[in-house]
């Protein structure tokens, strides 16, 4: 006798489709978050390296030992500084003000005026502050003994890796760096900046793990120190995936 061919019933097909839908609903948001995190980190790494490398090339071209000695830093105003740096960095004007928010609750922290920000060749926004207040360390030898690289802070550089795209949050797509004497950008919350801000003391009071609110990187902080966390954890964002499912921007 011929065996009857087995076939799926309509009920079985519907149950299978339902299960696949449940699995997709659980996995796709996580996958999308991971992809987004990878894209943000890649953009941040590229932008940081691009700025540092071009400033390094500028120092070699002008034959100066410190980034502060570049002619651009003779400027008295931020627009003048950007104009001088445009010789080495491709900096395009921005037409709209830019709001920046806290990592913890999305509250507005500050607004960058259009005249004060520029778009780089990586499409990121940069905002430079404190370039007039050159800050040398009083303990450069102690910093070096503890493995630090930052012995002089020439400026503070903020990077928004995806420009106008929201949510514009510290620790998500906005990051804070110190521009050091050697023309490199060092992440706030990282060990180098921690040594600089603690005058060479090898403690963690200014890092992303145990630092104050300004330097911490967790969901109860504004997120200023998250650049340090990302670099310390191997250029990965590991702290916002679960929260993003619960909180929409």
CA atoms within 13 Å, Cβ hemisphere of 94: 24
Average pLDDT in the 187-194 region? 94
pLDDT at 244 over 60: no
The pLDDT of residue 211 = 79
The pLDDT of residue 30 = 44
- Tell me phi and psi for residue 110, to 5 degrees: -160, 165
184, 52 Cβ separation under 8 angstroms: yes
What share of the chain has pLDDT > 90, as a percent?
64
The pLDDT of residue 245 = 44
The pLDDT of residue 160 = 96
Per-domain boundaries in the chain: 12-235
Question: DSSP letter at 32?
Answer: H
The pLDDT of residue 204 = 77
Average pLDDT for the chain: 85
- Predicted confidence band at 237 (pLDDT cuts at 50, 70, 90)? confident
The pLDDT of residue 29 = 44
The SS3 assignment for 243 reads helix
The pLDDT of residue 11 = 65
For residues 110 and 7, which has the higher predicted lDDT (pLDDT)?
110
- Predicted confidence band at 249 (pLDDT cuts at 50, 70, 90)? very low
Q: Per-residue pLDDT tens for 61-98? A: 999 999 999 999 999 999 999 999 999 999 999 999 99
Return the structure tokens found at 103.
């990592």
The string of DSSP letters for 74-120 reads: G-SSHHHHHHHHTTTS--EE--S-EEEE-TTT--EEEEE-GGGEEE-
pTM for the whole structure: 0.83
Average pLDDT in the 136-141 region? 94
- Predicted confidence band at 210 (pLDDT cuts at 50, 70, 90)? confident
Is residue 234 classed exposed, middle or buried when 0-12, 13-18 and 19+ CB atoms within 10 A define those classes? exposed
């Amino acid at each position: 006798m011929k065996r009857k061919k087995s076939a799926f019933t309509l009920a079985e097909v519907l149950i299978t489709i339902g299960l696949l839908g449940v699995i997709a609903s659980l996995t796709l948001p996580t996958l999308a978050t991971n992809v987004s995190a990878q894209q943000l980190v890649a953009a941040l790494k590229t932008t940081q390296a691009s700025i540092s490398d071009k400033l390094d090339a500028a120092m070699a071209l002008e034959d100066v030992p410190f980034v502060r000695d570049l002619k651009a830093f003779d400027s008295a105003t931020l627009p003048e500084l950007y104009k001088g740096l445009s010789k080495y960095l491709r900096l395009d004007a921005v037409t709209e003000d830019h709001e920046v928010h806290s990592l913890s609750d999305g509250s507005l922290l500050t607004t960058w005026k259009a005249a004060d920000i520029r778009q780089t060749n990586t499409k990121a926004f940069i905002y430079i502050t404190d370039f007039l207040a050159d800050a040398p360390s009083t303990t450069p030898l102690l910093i070096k003994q503890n493995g630090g690289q930052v012995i002089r802070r020439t400026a503070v550089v903020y990077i928004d890796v995806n420009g106008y795209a929201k949510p514009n949050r510290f620790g998500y797509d906005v990051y804070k760096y110190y521009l050091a004497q050697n023309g490199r950008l060092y992440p706030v919350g990282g060990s180098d900046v921690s040594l600089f801000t603690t005058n060479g003391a090898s403690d963690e009071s200014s890092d992303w793990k145990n630092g104050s609110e300004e330097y911490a990187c967790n969901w109860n902080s504004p997120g200023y120190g998250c650049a340090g966390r990302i670099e310390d954890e191997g250029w990965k964002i590991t702290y916002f995936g679960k929260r993003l499912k619960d909180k929409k921007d």
